[in-house]
Amino acid sequence: MFVRTCRSSCNAWTNATSTTQAGSLLPPNAHRSVVLTLSLQACSARTHESLIRSFASTTSQSKRQEAEAEEKRQVSPRLGPSAPRSSYPSSAEARQKRDSDREFLISVLESSATKRDARGYLQTFGSSAALTSAGQKKPSTIGILGVPASVAGRPAFVQGTEKEISVKRNEAPHVAVVKLRAPQAWDDVLLEGVAKTLTRLRDLGLLSVIVLDCDDIKPNQASSWHETVTEQTDRLLRAIGQYGFPAAEVVDSGIWKSTENPQIPSSVPSNPLYVGFGKAFTTPLANGHILVVPPRAYSDASLQYSKADANDIVIALTTFFAGLQFGQQSSDYRQLAEKVSDGQSFRKALVDRVIVIDPLGGIPSHRQGHGTQVFINLEDEFKNIQDALYEKTQPTSAGTKDAGVSARATVHLENLRLAKSTLALLPSNASVVMTSPAEAANINVSRRNQLEAKPDGFAGEVKTRTWRNPLIHNLLTDRPIYSSSLPIGRIKPTHQDEEIALSRMPTTTLAKRGLPVTIFPDPRVNRWQPPQPGVPRLRLTDTCIDLPRLVHLINDSFGRKLNVEHYLDRVKDSLAGIIIAGEYEGGAILTWETPFGLDEETAYRKGRLVPYLDKFAVLRKSQGAGGVADIVFNAMVRDAFPDGVCWRSRKDNPVNKWYFERSRGVLKLPESNWAMFWTTPEAVSNDQMMRDYEDVCRNIAPSWADTTKPAD
């Protein structure tokens, strides 16, 4: 039924090209309505592909119709200057607008947002739907896709009402503070692609405040630096101006530099820069403008503008929008305390994202030889990543230093610290996205396509839409394009040429404040090893473990009650360790199991104790959001059991697809309701190991209070 509805919407899309204004495929405000409708319906991947093909196929048909209409206007004597215009738009602007609308919806469909994702997106951005269309008059009889509102309002297709997507004029806008590094090195195609993506974010309710970073100019070339900044500001304004109204505005007088050091709370980063003229930002944002901020600051001492560090500007803007910019007077703190106690909002805008678009892309992985950190849990990983990057900036033991590696590591280190500083000022659901201009623009490299051209294909053929746009995908799903717990082989494309394969690796990093991860016993102190029989070991009743909260986590995650007494008795002599994320928002219980027919002493002596994932749990409120499951899984396979672990799951468990993507293999056990998973690299080639794994997964006794339901 839904596939037919989607296909009929494609037909409506095609028919709407002759009815919408100025050649646009969508009436004002329709972008978000379509996005929310399709997302909430939770299309299958096959339906998404069908929609994408249908939208894309209208391009050639529409162009043929326009050409025919234009030809008629030119050859027919009846169609003179006073003759009525054809219903087909003929201007280049109209074609560009329509193609732009189509590309936008294709990019949204490619995000593969689930119903849970759409619900989260609605909760955050639902009331800001018309922000970018403030002041525009919406046709009263035209609904989604240009069809009558009475048709578009059918419950089977439309989600929400006009009231739900209206804008409150006093509502704080949702903002992304964006840093563009070295835009002078980007060609026009790249810059225009990034500009298009930023306007798409605006269509989805997220306004960008863009800070230019032109620091690659040498310090002794001051005049060149000022010329470069002016030129790049103008380039960006022109690029954004191609993609709709309202256009971008330059804010060149809002950032000031203080020569005094006001006393501020320790939780707020020290920064010589601050927002001296707040209305220069808040007024245009309230009217839906994208803002461009050159890297200059006005000195309150010299009364002149001078060069300013782009990272400091990003922190100053984040501090200001978050309502944490303080003056030097103690009265400022008293006024803040009064606002908080009265429940008043002191935020100037809601900073949902900080975006860094850097030619170097995201943060390189310190665990793998190649690739980028897909997700960073700053609470747990910041120090290790910072140390790894800092080491690359230092000379080797031989006293040498690779200047190129050092320079790149320094940039990555600055971006990592920027993420840490800004997220410290923002709510826990905010995030930092670091990506390359090519990925932000959703542009594939021509050379790559030439190298991959098939014998029967066109040389140099550009195959577009091979990547999902990481910024649009993240806005709709609050997740990276690839899960951080996926094995590298699931992300790295296969190609006979290693250089090409590496060039196709994603270069986007998503960073969140995240959660602390606690592992008992700590593998950094002593690596987990099969325990010698008779040696004291960890128990779930030890004081370091909050057993009531652990039981609540398991009950909530599985939706059924644990038989606590039976479970404690079962794992008391086999417990390997426990992983806890945050305040028991997620966790894993791992054991060393003895295969059937062996005693523990024999299994230990022969090296046949089985590393087993006994319980993997995430609170329902944290499932699908914040990466809690990925955080726990990564801790298990990277820190606790890096050599491999096995587990079982019901054959009809909907989580099995998630397990399958992260495992080395899966086996459906015959004559049982279990599927067995493992991450051990050599398991398949070791018959004895596979038999032991299967034996354990078949014979572990469940420990649920309700024995009428199937075991989990």
Specify the higher pLDDT residue, 209 or 341.
Answer: 209
Are residues 361 and 505 in contact, defined by beta-carbon separation less than 8 angstroms?
no
Which pLDDT score is estimated for 444?
Answer: 57
Residue type for 392, please? K
Mean pLDDT (whole number) for 678-693: 95
Are residues 112 and 42 in contact, defined by beta-carbon separation less than 8 angstroms?
no
Domains of the chain: 2-79+88-152 (no CATH), 174-437+506-512 (3.40.1160.10), 517-699 (3.40.630.30)
The overall average pLDDT reported for the chain is 77
The pLDDT confidence band at residue 365, using thresholds 50, 70 and 90, is confident
Specify the higher pLDDT residue, 570 or 481.
Answer: 570
Residue 712 has pLDDT above 80, yes or no: no
Specify the higher pLDDT residue, 66 or 479.
Answer: 479
Q: Which range (5-19, 68-82, 248-262, 452-466) has the least confidence?
A: 452-466
Which pLDDT score is estimated for 26?
Answer: 43
Tokens of 158: 């439309």
Are residues 456 and 98 in contact, defined by beta-carbon separation less than 8 angstroms?
no
Which pLDDT score is estimated for 244?
Answer: 80
Spatial CA neighbour of 353 closest among 281, 439, 430? 430
Are residues 374 and 627 in contact, defined by beta-carbon separation less than 8 angstroms?
no
CA–CA gap between residue 311 and residue 420 (Å, rounded): 12
Q: Percentage of the chain with pLDDT > 90?
A: 50
pLDDT tens for each residue of 591-627: 999 998 899 999 999 999 999 999 999 999 988 766 8
Residue 514 has pLDDT above 50, yes or no: yes
pLDDT tens for each residue of 10-37: 444 444 433 344 444 443 444 454 444 4
pLDDT tens for each residue of 408-447: 999 999 999 999 999 999 999 999 999 999 999 987 544 3
Specify the higher pLDDT residue, 315 or 153.
Answer: 315
Q: Percentage of the chain with pLDDT > 70?
A: 64
Specify the higher pLDDT residue, 693 or 17.
Answer: 693
Which pLDDT score is estimated for 338?
Answer: 53
The pLDDT confidence band at residue 336, using thresholds 50, 70 and 90, is low
Judged by DSSP in three states, 319 sits in: helix
Sheet strands (E) in 573-622: 575-581, 586-593, 610-618
Which pLDDT score is estimated for 445?
Answer: 46
Residue 356 has pLDDT above 90, yes or no: yes
pLDDT tens for each residue of 457-476: 332 333 333 468 999 989 98
Which of 75-79, 158-162, 307-311, 368-372 reaches the highest mean pLDDT? 307-311
Place of tokens 């609308």: 101
CA–CA gap between residue 711 and residue 652 (Å, rounded): 12
Are residues 401 and 533 in contact, defined by beta-carbon separation less than 8 angstroms?
no
Which pLDDT score is estimated for 510?
Answer: 95
pLDDT tens for each residue of 531-572: 999 889 999 999 999 999 999 999 999 999 999 999 999 999
Spatial CA neighbour of 156 closest among 144, 174, 172? 144
Q: Where are the alpha helices (DSSP H) in 356-431?
A: 378-392, 403-423
Residue 7 has pLDDT above 90, yes or no: no
The pLDDT confidence band at residue 215, using thresholds 50, 70 and 90, is confident
pLDDT tens for each residue of 264-274: 666 666 788 99
Rounded to the nearest 5°, which phi and psi values hold at 593? -100, 145
Which pLDDT score is estimated for 451?
Answer: 35
Mean pLDDT (whole number) for 344-360: 89
Which pLDDT score is estimated for 265?
Answer: 61
